[in-house]
Structure 1
């Protein structure tokens, strides 16, 4: 669907069917809070940007290109970012408000009790106070006036423009946007990437299955030879993990917290290649961050040109500045490090629950009573408690304290702004010093031929009895274990107890570096973390880069675009030959497996939507995983969210305890038989029959499915460079290839507009599915859509 007439027809059909006709899912509790679907919904069908807008910050223009990307031009930066706020609000206002409500714990006020637990968690973590502390610092810097101008632009659009359809459906109006809300968006994406309670989950598994099983299923280090920095010299190495000191937390608390941590499998690809490998001699940056895919996309594309710079790329709605992108001199991108920047603490608490013991003294918890508003229900009163470490989370009589690097004043917004204004590698290095969170793998290249890799973000150094320790366990908060020197929750931190900037993993002017969330370096000087991705994507990227480098052929932009679309699954390369051998050796093999065997034997290991072999492998992998792990985990009352990654699964030895009742080979063959039966029952013929985009949804799509994008067959898997994970709708949320000053192309998985009636609501979706790209041109051409004229403040 790409035109207004079709969209109006769909909405008309939905309205004619009534509220019941919209509910195609079981989530009726959200639907009940929809405003009556009356003629007011049509108000949103005729939204158009005002042609002239008064701005208290001065003159600016917005041109909208054929892909819905706004090109903002102004002499003054504040005027430009007022315009950016205005156009972001017009295109993505519901997304801005929804994210803000989630982080503030105010979602139930508009959708009812269905989101009450989410609100309770976010209120308890008090992300809003951390955003306020961040704004207190940022407001005194050069970005302060720009963030204020952006917020004023958002508010001007709220006041002047017709609200999007979602506000009509839910029957409410958004509150004014503030600079603190923008800081809150920094916390939101940082939490999405680093908010991980893995130590609680591992402690629970150890309690149920034993330390030996944890060591087997969740190794400190996966046995592969493809770290990001392959040639880095060995350091002293991080402290060893002491599994014997784990303390399990009640499963009710662990399970509850797991609902709100980083989505599973969040990751990304990026690489930077020096100019010696390209035809023109200019280096290239490629980046495709893998985040939750949604309608509209998580990223918003914009181009901002001022007297200081011309920068184009993507940002998160609610953030003024381009986060991933390029200016006239350089290009930069990010992937997640997987660093451990969250710790949990247990306490000795008195009988009244009002005090906790800390370093030999009793201290009162810092408390605050908060009311959570619930639309159509009874408001919930909750008490927020904090310790010296940070928020204290309580559930089912269990209590833990949480320290997270985002719960203090951070300077990442300043760093991002400076990237856009940078004039070379030294500027980028200086800006990176201010990049406090999230922990990211930065890749950079510029027109001068410089290249850079740097691990960003603050990395805590923990100690127990004066000795450095790893952070993937529970600490005794009452004893003062594992504390972060220089960290002040909800205030301004000095960070003196964290890894110094110069000691973080990095490489200046490397030939080429590839990141795919694998471990950063084999022997880091300091503990970074243990939650790295399996090496499948990293292996494939480095294999392709190495082969091309040896060939002497240039790695020009087309080569990098092809690599981003690569769908060879390295899991299959390892496992399919073993599976076929097991089938051939099984005397019980019957004709029911013949077609599956033929498909696998003829297969090229590519997860292509038209492939039969890819379908057989994908469904076999699911049944193989379940056959190995489900009996043990189910007996321990642990669901599949506790399963280890596929690298661990693929490398389990034949004498593992998980093959005690059925050999590895027998398990493989049995899983293939189950997969074949499932494929027949579902009448699937090819991979794309199962691997579709149906999981990509609008927040209200369950109740109003016309808001979702079309469901179409897709390529890729969780282990391919062209990444798509149908089970949880995670994948390439932005693909970008930039040769600074020469060639730049990109694509979004949907459209740049969040307005259902806009032609740019989904105009990039099919192109994204098919692996197409479009230009990232940085020119201010075309007709002016909005002209901002000088107005009063």
Structure 2
């Protein structure tokens, strides 16, 4: 019997050993993970970093990297090659996992790491042509020896770091997900930049607008999607005169009406993804020099999307934030100029309904001819399962998607091809390479000419006193409203007809009002001749910024910092007085009356300590749904909803608006009926969710700000960040979205900058610098940026990078 017991014990032991070294679903191999020498314990940073010398193959000379007290690296190199090689190496030391995951996502390779749960996302990424677009960009970059050298040097630096890692030194996420870093190919930089194009320029509502047009008609679409709100204040002010003759394409004789009730694939964009930027001239500042401010609004993650750095070498000295995987500084300043960006939101993604000759899809109809398609085979590896082969058909428009009807299962599926700016050959990094070295306005304009996508509002200020803003990127020439509905893929009149000339895109330099600004609102006034889009951000943030700047004089950097934290809600100020006026107070209970009285005293600021913001958001949302949802839910088709600013304007100005009446009841509802009913509904919902009015009703709780780990690994994020702000306020913080980098720069003989982002320099959850700046960010503080003109004599610690063969 002893041999049986011994055998059973051996089998159990073997099973335990195998299980501890096997990954089950999202659970890492526990034996490896808890190994005290090589597991997650090995990632804890328990000692203060010390100065050291490191061997980095490929360097031509020694590079000095100085770290300040926030662990921001200041890289001083003796030549450009070493500068970017060192940047790649240093960024990889802090953010390797983030660099890899972003490019795995852009390449449609997440299932390769995580497993079948992300296969559909990978398929969608491939079917949208993301790798195809990156390949075209990389071909363009290879034709530019200077940029090719920069990107290859950066890749060499990343690989120098990867090559020196042993498994016990892998970043923690590699141990959680149980995989190893792979060599960094230079094309990954192109993939990273295409991922930003997807984040910022993949929005589209072609199918929803087509469906809405079919269900509610031209008048409805014109009223809600064509007309601008009265308070709209465009980026380029109406005072700007256009002194060119626009070459506008000819529209077709009759507009194409696609089959309705289709649903096209879309990557969702969270409300709050946008940005603010502005620059004020010296005529409005206390110093007499321009001040520039920028706060791009993106999904907030740990690690942060941005990496703060200074880059110093002969011919360049620049400071700001970079994207992990991309050389140079994306938003920042140098000794002469400062720049920042916000998203433009132009319509650069159109869907075309395709007519194929037969089921083989080898030919499609266009311009009266049958033209050949091309085929791209996407090989998608899936962890733990067989590789998936996905065939994607391409027309001259782009990749083709099969679309099923949502409301009529018997209707044959349609096929739609995508024309998207992300597929254009591009060399966008050259713009930032030029901005990093710019000395004046002319250098800024020259740098912008290299930029393709995603279109950005580039704000600018210089020591020479100039301020400017260009709505910049490759913008397709279109006839009025071209591409806002699904287009006819057989008719060449629906094709993009080239590009708006660079000198004719909306832009302005040194306006009389003394400032420039953007907040994702409409690019230009109606007299701008080219059609750009009908779906810009609501007017609220842009209007508030311009109102404040118009009234300000003797502006200081502190004024700009305070302004970035402004949480005044134009949405509340334009809507709440009407809701209150429409409410039948005689029908309110005692608690409802108390809430009503509280709302009458509110000043429209979305302050964390106030209950009114949470009540308003619930009430306004319920009112919107009560007016719109009964009509919209009469069909399963996806429809386009009006933006909140035009909705408020229509409901306030037109008490007879037909949608106010609930079609599901016999009575004819009025605004008064709905305002009263939705106030009662909101009080009830908030009470059920949070109990009686008190601390849990405060906006800082209701705002629901979570800064999650970028791979959503539990325990590696920061939950319930208590803060003020709102998606419609300048401080556009809400629900995991918001200012991902706040920066203020004062130009002058000695350029000064201030900045913060919600995270820390390190991507290691075991480091004290992983989330060290969140509290400062939450409370509106900015750190003064250590912008050194020469090798600093004071620093926290220093790393010397040397080629191992140089000794």
| TM, length-normalised to structure 1 | 0.88
Is contact 2:68-2:797 (8 Å) kept? no
Q: Give 1:239 shift.
A: 8.4
> Distance in 1 between the 2:281 and 2:173 partners?
46
The 1:791–1:252 alpha-carbon spacing in structure 2 relative to 1, beyond 3 Å, is farther
The aligned counterpart of 1:787 is 800
Give deviations 1:539-585, integer Å, cap 9, x for gaps. 1111111111xxxx3011111111110011011111121122122x4
Q: Give 1:101 shift.
A: 1.0
The 1:251–1:375 alpha-carbon spacing in structure 2 relative to 1, beyond 3 Å, is farther
The aligned counterpart of 2:410 is none
| TM, length-normalised to structure 2 | 0.87
Q: Note if 1:758 corresponds to 2:767.
A: yes
Q: Give 1:132 shift.
A: 2.4
The aligned counterpart of 2:556 is 556
The aligned counterpart of 1:68 is 71
Other structure's SS at 1:618 match: helix
Other structure's SS at 1:189 match: helix
The 1:484–1:318 alpha-carbon spacing in structure 2 relative to 1, beyond 3 Å, is same
Other structure's SS at 2:210 match: helix
Match among 353, 356, 359 for residue 349 of structure 1? 356
The aligned counterpart of 1:18 is none
Is contact 2:251-2:493 (8 Å) kept? no
Other structure's SS at 2:319 match: strand
Match among 542, 564, 574 for residue 546 of structure 2? 542
* Aligned-CA RMSD value: 2.5
Match among 724, 727, 731 for residue 722 of structure 1? 731
Q: Give 1:686 shift.
A: 1.4
Q: Give 1:708 shift.
A: 0.8
The aligned counterpart of 2:86 is 83
> Distance in 2 between the 1:685 and 1:501 partners?
50
The aligned counterpart of 2:177 is 170
Q: Give 1:719 shift.
A: 0.7
> Distance in 2 between the 1:744 and 1:617 partners?
37
> Distance in 1 between the 2:457 and 2:29 partners?
42
| Higher alpha-carbon deviation: 657-666 or 416-425 | 657-666
The aligned counterpart of 2:154 is 150
Identify unmatched segments of 5+ residues in structure 2: 1-22, 405-412, 663-668
Other structure's SS at 1:720 match: coil
Q: Note if 1:116 corresponds to 2:116.
A: no
Give deviations 1:136-179, integer Å, cap 9, x for gaps. 22233312111101011111111213221111011111221122
> Distance in 1 between the 2:259 and 2:89 partners?
47
Other structure's SS at 1:724 match: coil
| Higher alpha-carbon deviation: 52-61 or 424-433 | 52-61
> Distance in 2 between the 1:334 and 1:647 partners?
24
Match among 384, 400, 420 for residue 376 of structure 1? 384
Is contact 1:54-1:791 (8 Å) kept? yes
The aligned counterpart of 1:288 is 295
Is contact 1:602-1:613 (8 Å) kept? no
Is contact 1:55-1:79 (8 Å) kept? no
The 1:365–1:250 alpha-carbon spacing in structure 2 relative to 1, beyond 3 Å, is farther
Q: Give 1:261 shift.
A: 5.1
| Higher alpha-carbon deviation: 225-234 or 336-345 | 225-234
The aligned counterpart of 2:572 is 572
Q: Note if 1:648 corresponds to 2:646.
A: yes
Give deviations 1:657-712, integer Å, cap 9, x for gaps. 21123212221222111111122222233111211323x211343xx421011423
Q: Note if 1:245 corresponds to 2:288.
A: no
Give deviations 1:201-226, integer Å, cap 9, x for gaps. 21123234444333333235333341
> Distance in 1 between the 2:417 and 2:559 partners?
48
Is contact 1:239-1:527 (8 Å) kept? no
| Higher alpha-carbon deviation: 561-570 or 662-671 | 662-671
Q: Note if 1:418 corresponds to 2:431.
A: no
Other structure's SS at 1:390 match: coil
> Distance in 1 between the 2:641 and 2:336 partners?
45
The aligned counterpart of 1:3 is none
Q: Give 1:65 shift.
A: 1.7
Q: Give 1:249 shift.
A: 6.0
The aligned counterpart of 1:699 is 710
The aligned counterpart of 2:338 is 331
Q: Note if 1:524 corresponds to 2:528.
A: yes
Is contact 1:692-1:714 (8 Å) kept? no
> Distance in 1 between the 2:740 and 2:254 partners?
40
Aligned length: 738
Q: Give 1:635 shift.
A: 2.5
Other structure's SS at 2:423 match: coil
The aligned counterpart of 2:140 is 137
Other structure's SS at 1:374 match: coil
Give deviations 1:456-488, integer Å, cap 9, x for gaps. 10111136xxxx763322222222232235xxx
The aligned counterpart of 1:676 is 683
The aligned counterpart of 2:56 is 54
Computing the radius of gyration from Cα coordinates, the structure with the larger value is: 2
> Distance in 2 between the 1:113 and 1:213 partners?
43
> Distance in 1 between the 2:322 and 2:575 partners?
39
Is contact 1:425-1:450 (8 Å) kept? yes
Identify unmatched segments of 5+ residues in structure 1: 1-27, 486-496
The 1:710–1:271 alpha-carbon spacing in structure 2 relative to 1, beyond 3 Å, is same
Is contact 2:331-2:339 (8 Å) kept? yes
Q: Note if 1:772 corresponds to 2:784.
A: no
The aligned counterpart of 1:501 is 502
> Distance in 1 between the 2:125 and 2:378 partners?
12
Q: Note if 1:183 corresponds to 2:195.
A: no
The 1:336–1:477 alpha-carbon spacing in structure 2 relative to 1, beyond 3 Å, is same
Q: Give 1:263 shift.
A: 4.1
Other structure's SS at 2:173 match: helix
Give deviations 1:576-624, integer Å, cap 9, x for gaps. 21122122x4542332311211211221111000012222212212222
The aligned counterpart of 1:626 is 625
The 1:670–1:68 alpha-carbon spacing in structure 2 relative to 1, beyond 3 Å, is farther
The 1:477–1:655 alpha-carbon spacing in structure 2 relative to 1, beyond 3 Å, is same
Is contact 1:283-1:451 (8 Å) kept? yes
The 1:636–1:234 alpha-carbon spacing in structure 2 relative to 1, beyond 3 Å, is farther
Is contact 1:750-1:763 (8 Å) kept? yes
Q: Give 1:191 shift.
A: 1.8
> Distance in 1 between the 2:94 and 2:561 partners?
28
The 1:752–1:622 alpha-carbon spacing in structure 2 relative to 1, beyond 3 Å, is farther
Is contact 1:722-1:732 (8 Å) kept? yes
Is contact 1:33-1:111 (8 Å) kept? no
Is contact 2:458-2:471 (8 Å) kept? yes
Other structure's SS at 1:692 match: coil
Q: Note if 1:38 corresponds to 2:38.
A: no
